[in-house]
Structure 1
Amino acid sequence: MQTRDKDWLFALRTMWERAGALPWLSGPGIALGVLFVCMPFFLVEVPPLIDVPGHMGAAAIEAAGPGNPLEKYFSWKWVFTLNIGGGVLMKVLGAQFGILAAGWWSTVLATGLFAGGCLASIRMLNARGGHGAAWALMFVFSFPLLTGFLNYILATGLSLSAFAASVWLEKQPKKRAAMLMVAQPVAMLCHAIGGLLLFLMVGGNAVGREIDRLPKGWWRPSMWRTVRDETDWMAVGRRLLVLCWPLIATVVTIVLWKFFSPEPVRSLNRWRWDQKAWYLILTLRDQSLLLDAATTISCFALVLLGWLLGARWKWQQALPGLLVFMLFVAIPSDINGSAFVDVRLFPVAMMLALGLQDWSGAKDNRARMVAYVGMALLAVRLVVTGSSFADYAEDYRKQLSALHHVEPGSRVLAFVEHSCLEESWRNTRRDHLASLASLYRQAWVNDNWAVPGLHMVIPRFRPGRNFTADPSEFVWSRKCQGGRLRSVDSALRYAPIERVDYVWLIDTGLPRRPDPRLQLVWQEGRSLLFAVRPLGFPTWQPKDF
């Protein structure tokens, strides 16, 4: 019986080798990998990613037709900007299935494209040595996705998929060029930084291939004359031209954006070096400090010390990830009102580094050990993620029950306690939950993104100078940065309460000083909903939590 099992395993292994790819990088293997990564979303109705409720609220504003109360409070203006992928996708899906389903499907499709593009790129560049594929997939549920940067995830997924397709079509240069000429503007329109990755990966792969063609030891000064004399630089230039000339589409898209987009908000481009350093550690922050720290350390060790176990890189495999990492280091953290521009790039750099690390030359038992440990760790993380999604779904249900007490078309001033690392490793992901008031109750809420030149939402109702749009909804616990940040009491002290119908406090706890204009109509733990009433009505009597 054992002999038969060994014969069967040997035959299966031989079949995989003849197919030219590891089993998890075959077509069915990639499909299963994408399915497993997307499974946590089947446990929820609203994806529990920080920004996704905000995207859904914005989609409700865009879809508001004549007679919808939202028309009184907001207008929507489509503009030519490199940040509209999620909005367009939600509009297309929402017209058929409704905004709630569109938000869910948009998130799942973006996530699937992100994971599938990652695996496809590994398949095309490292089919026999991609034992780190499972390690790379751990960075799907990393900071950009868990924050809900839907436009960026969609653009990055498109870029990774187009990158894999460009390698696959190299023997058909006309089809490859046509594909790249279409894919680059589409990815750039989804999100500028995510679309720019396609340019970097294709260019890095082409240049890396030419470096691999150079004689061994070309980097030594003693070899430079030999390299110069023996290399046909005209042939190198022709090959690079064939592979890279379609990348001009990225340049053309940026030029058109500069000419035809509205003037962006004026803000300084800032480099936050402390933020870059912190997100080397925080990019996998999720539910468990112990699990996330162990995963991060293991991934770093595999990238930096994998050569001790026999892993290698060719320049063709290493340069795409290296260029993405260099962009992460060099790019500003804030650009024209958009924050966290740089730290979104680090997970992609790690994906490419782990997935394109070539284990084909290592001993079989070591390479298999790396693959199986990665799969086991990925499975544990997906189980933890799925369990957390179920918990978030229940919490969202409890928090959103407040909207049963809100009259349709009302004005809701929301304050939500923003999670901070000093208080908890686990993020509550309630930051933009208030935006769902626009979806479920067609209500005005001060939670929308409304940066001119970057977002399409234009507030019409402005109750106060600093209480119109994001980030006016954020307050912080007294534990965050020693209580120096705005608390719910200081926010209420200056809030234009007399100009709204409700004040919704999400996970803030009770204000220290009661306001006689506020009448409690709902309470769930530390969250409260107050109706605004003229003076003389009974004051609120909340339970003490």
Structure 2
Amino acid sequence: MQVRHKVWPFKWTITGLPWLSGPGIALAVLLVCFPFMLVDVPPLIDIPGHMGAAAIEAAGPNSPLGKYFAWRWVFTLNIGDGVLMKLIGARFGILAAGWWSTVLATALYAGGCLATIRMLNARGGHGAGWALIYVFSFPLLTGFLNYILATGISLTSFAIAVWLEKQPRKRAALLIAVQPIAMLCHAIGGLLLPLLIGANAVGREIDLLPQGWWRPSRFRASLAAHDWRAAAKRLAVLLWPLATTVLVIVLWKLFSPPPARSFNHWRWDEKEWYLILTLRDQSMILDAATTIACYALILFGWVIGGRWKWQQFLPGFLVLAEFVAIPSDINGSNFVDVRLLPVACMLLLGLQDWSRAGPRTAKVVAYTGMILLGLRLVITGASFADYAQDYRKQLVALQHVEPGSRVLAFVEHSCLEESWRNTRRDHLASLASIYRQAWVNDNWAVPGLHLLVPRFRPGRNFTADPSEFVWSERCAGGRLRSVDVALKYAPIERVDYVWLIDTGLPKRPDPRLQLVWQDGRSMLFAVRPLRIPNWQPRDF
């Protein structure tokens, strides 16, 4: 029997699946966001960097940050986190802005996934638990906040657009208003919205073709019997609002500053690796087993009754095709393609229709996915608590830093040769800009892509990300830059402190460095001033 639910902010008509009811979706989103309740700083690799940049943007005229950095708002398709943190931070502070921005983006990502499943696969969405596994995957765990925010907006808006199809004016108004917002948050995440809208519309038209139209013996007759004019009219009504995305791209090309790196690069080995690594988190065994199970369900689910209509299959398939086709690096932005793989898997799993499978099979699929999701969320929550403790331990170093100082930071970058579990300390040094109003060499500053402009440049290649990265000898056979090599060429005489995060003690002590704090493999050194008569250091 069909059940009618009333759910804020509008009425949904559908479903007997409790996890796709309004309360079910709300509960699932809360559970997915629960690990963030255990932390002050979300332990996602890039989030401290986003928070440090927000502190620089919010710095007042008397802040020392003003002499170290400038902030220039420009028209670029990568400013979602900057705007959101500015709005929240003005009222609640930068730490709260970083936390709330991450939680809101995650909630939109998970909620948009479930809302999409509800609108396109209400009776057969038994794979919803499997789909939600891909919320805590490579893009979110890396802290690609702009992308997650844009993707969450795209998925949520797509679901609402499907619901509004019988009200074309409201639907068009929604799409015209939302597309620029999603695109300004992040270009690739924003482009998902027109891609999903188009895939859904074309897939529905294919489903309306006579049954068996694809068979050679019936192909011509089936196509001749189809009302192509009506199909073209339906597509025009559904797709014309997507011209807004084209307009945004044109305006971006006209008014955005030219990129510093105008090259595109395909990394085919990276695409292959991330078929395995996209669910990398805490346990290699669990992550590998989950990945194999998810791919098996996508590829072989039809054996036990899983099906797709074209309307359900094309959205995920076209996102997967985009993952294969687009470059890995675009104009200074890296990992552009592999961010799409989790969304493709999420859609293929969630929109796989199990309504025609046996009831017992469908229940097994549903509850297996939920159990696996629950297990991974428990492990994620426990890891968040561990990361929070580690962050607090590392940040004790900042208690020994004078406000307004210049801190040259080096952090040991995680690699697979050393550990499956990522330390997520890569951009921890950026928090010095929040807690000590200090300069640090950890910020993103690619012209045409980022809004931050360094004013203080202590030395070539030691001004912004990735100058903070060093590697252990076990990474790439010792061929990558070690902490000793980094210190050898670092402009130590032009900074006040050197902060080594999990690098271990350098093999070659530098007489200019005086140890002021140490905890395990992390330490903070004060720089002793050079005793040269009549010489003053120049900062600018």
CA distance in 1, matches of 2:214, 2:256: 44
1:421 corresponds in structure 2 to 416
Give the percent of matched residue pairs that are identical in Structure 1 and Structure 2: 77
- Contact preservation (8 Å) 1:516, 1:535: no
Letter in 2 for 1:285: R
CA distance in 2, matches of 1:361, 1:340: 38
2:457 corresponds in structure 1 to 462
After the TM superposition, which residues 311-460 of structure 1 pair with which residues of structure 2 at under 5 Å, given as runs?
311-460=306-455
Report how far residue 535 of structure 1 moved.
5.4
TM-score, with structure 2 as normaliser: 0.96
TM-score, with structure 1 as normaliser: 0.95
- Contact preservation (8 Å) 2:281, 2:422: yes
Report how far residue 15 of structure 1 moved.
8.7
Report how far residue 216 of structure 1 moved.
2.0
Report how far residue 14 of structure 1 moved.
8.0
- Contact preservation (8 Å) 1:50, 1:148: yes
CA distance in 1, matches of 2:163, 2:405: 54
Does 2:42 correspond to 1:47?
A: yes
CA distance in 1, matches of 2:286, 2:505: 34
- Contact preservation (8 Å) 2:3, 2:15: no
Q: Any unmatched runs of 5+ in structure 2?
A: 6-12, 532-540
Does 2:198 correspond to 1:203?
A: yes
Does 2:87 correspond to 1:92?
A: yes
CA distance in 1, matches of 2:239, 2:40: 43
SS in 1 for 2:516: strand
Considering only aligned residues, what root-mean-square deviation do their CA atoms show, in Å?
Answer: 1.4
Letter in 2 for 1:485: L
SS in 1 for 2:500: strand
Report how far residue 19 of structure 1 moved.
4.8
SS in 2 for 1:255: helix
1:8 corresponds in structure 2 to none
SS in 1 for 2:523: strand
Report how far residue 62 of structure 1 moved.
0.0
- Contact preservation (8 Å) 1:262, 1:453: yes
Letter in 2 for 1:340: F
SS in 2 for 1:221: coil
1:309 corresponds in structure 2 to 304
Letter in 1 for 2:105: A
Report how far residue 231 of structure 1 moved.
1.2
- Contact preservation (8 Å) 1:81, 1:257: yes
Letter in 2 for 1:288: S
Q: Any unmatched runs of 5+ in structure 1?
A: 1-10, 537-545
CA distance in 2, matches of 1:208, 1:294: 32
After the TM superposition, which residues 23-172 of structure 1 pair with which residues of structure 2 at under 5 Å, given as runs?
23-172=18-167
Q: Any idea what the Cα deviations from partners look like across 1:467-492, whole Å, max 9, x if unmatched?
A: 00000000001000000000000000
CA distance in 2, matches of 1:34, 1:185: 25
2:282 corresponds in structure 1 to 287
Q: Any idea what the Cα deviations from partners look like across 1:265-317, whole Å, max 9, x if unmatched?
A: 12420000000000000000000001101110010011111111111100000
Letter in 2 for 1:173: P
CA distance in 1, matches of 2:312, 2:161: 14
- Contact preservation (8 Å) 2:493, 2:530: no
2:188 corresponds in structure 1 to 193
Is the deviation greater in 264-273 or in 191-200? 264-273
The total of aligned residue pairs comes to: 525
CA distance in 1, matches of 2:224, 2:189: 40
Report how far residue 223 of structure 1 moved.
2.3
- Contact preservation (8 Å) 1:21, 1:123: no
Q: Any idea what the Cα deviations from partners look like across 1:190-219, whole Å, max 9, x if unmatched?
A: 000000000110000000000001122222
Is the deviation greater in 48-57 or in 259-268? 259-268
- Contact preservation (8 Å) 2:429, 2:442: yes
SS in 1 for 2:407: strand
Q: Any idea what the Cα deviations from partners look like across 1:240-276, whole Å, max 9, x if unmatched?
A: 0011111111111101100011111124200000000
2:240 corresponds in structure 1 to 245
